[in-house]
Amino acid sequence: MIQLAFIENHYPFREFKWIEEGKIIETEKGKKRVEIWTDKETLEAHIEWREKLAKETDSLTDRMIQTANGDKAVETDTGWLTLHDYVDHPYPVTSNIKQTGRFLGMYASVKMDNNVGHTDIANWQEDALFLRKFIKVKLKQKGLIERLRVEAEDRVKKAEVLFKEESTEEPASVLSIESPSQAKMIHGRMYWENRGKSFQNKYLVLRSFLKEWVEANGTGELTHLLDGLDETFSLREQKGRHLLAAIVYPHEYISFMNWLNEAGESAEIEERVNSLRKEWDIMKTLTERIAEWIREPERRLSNV
């Protein structure tokens, strides 16, 4: 456990008090969040990511507060400690849909100096082999899963067409997003809290954000979100096709099957199948809505 005195010795604040031991402290300059990093490479990638996100999007984000010596992190016995602002007021994303979309586009455009994490949109070859295999376990949902498998194979083919045609874009990764609730508000402005653990292909991160968005807010205002996204991450031509490819690709099915192969006949199966069906439906809706949005006369793309 990190001692308060340790933080006190390194950071230029006068008052320190735990609000949540090991996680949040109260200082005379507001609440600060403590993060512990066990891996230096991850820490360095996060420092670079947060600096770049702040500079390239001109937004407020939970960058590393400098120590009294001007360092971004302090070495501890177990790893490294960093300090961040703690902002708990949520940003009203649903009242600022276009702005949220614009931010999302800028977020997906941030370029790290060196690619970290998974930069590919899919494991095309591995997944193709995987999808050809029939499930061996005996389940009452076997029929449904088999139907989904056939459809998933078809989805891979469609994604392949969308993704591989005239693809000139360099694969790039950005920090994963857990939920739109990472958007907080301070002094009337969005403050982005980076909660993602890993770096992923930018289209997969957008896919995941859109999924969370639809799950929480439905598809009613999706067009506005896409309009905002398009302003900073043009969905015309290649980028639009790649986003569609990421959504069409049956990641949810592959991830479910990976779980099933490991877990076998688990008690969780019912819950997992429901969650797969839910995500499957969201992806279907998203595909339709995005394709529809792209097909609007003023945004018409070729070959979509």
Q: State the minimum distance, in angstroms, from the CB of residue 113 to another protein.
A: 17
Q: Where are the beta strands (DSSP E) in the chain?
A: 17-20, 24-27, 30-37, 60-61, 74-75, 80-85, 173-175, 183-186, 189-192, 199-201
Name which of 229 and 244 has its Cβ closer to another protein.
229
**Cβ of 215: how many Cβ atoms within 10 Å?**
13
CA distance 230 to 44: 30
**Is residue 218 at the binding interface for another protein, with CB under 8 A as the rule?**
no
Token readout for 280 is: 């499957």
**Is residue 24 at the binding interface for another protein, with CB under 8 A as the rule?**
no
Name which of 102 and 239 has its Cβ closer to another protein.
102
CB-based contact 206:214 (threshold 8 Å): no
Please list every residue from 58 through 87 that binds another protein, using CB under 8 A. Answer: 58, 60, 63-66, 70, 72, 85
Q: In what order do the strands lie in the sheet with 24-27?
A: 17-20, 24-27, 30-37, 80-85, 74-75
In eight-state DSSP terms, residue 90 is B
Q: State the minimum distance, in angstroms, from the CB of residue 65 to another protein.
A: 5
**Is residue 30 at the binding interface for another protein, with CB under 8 A as the rule?**
yes
Q: Which stretch binds another protein (CB under 8 A): 51-59, 129-137, 150-158, 245-253?
A: 51-59
Which of 29, 40, 147, 300 is the binder for another protein (CB under 8 A)?
A: 29
In eight-state DSSP terms, residue 11 is S
Which of 187, 262, 267, 303 is the binder for another protein (CB under 8 A)?
A: 187
Name which of 64 and 273 has its Cβ closer to another protein.
64
Please list every residue from 77 through 136 that binds another protein, using CB under 8 A. Answer: 85
CA distance 23 to 264: 37
Which of 133, 157, 189, 195 is the binder for another protein (CB under 8 A)?
A: 189
Q: What are the CA-CA distances from residue 247 to residues 23, 161, 280 (Å)?
A: 36, 13, 10
How many amino acids of this chain bind another protein (CB under 8 A)? 17
Contact footprint for another protein (CB under 8 A) = 29-30, 51, 54, 58, 60, 63-66, 70, 72, 85, 186-189
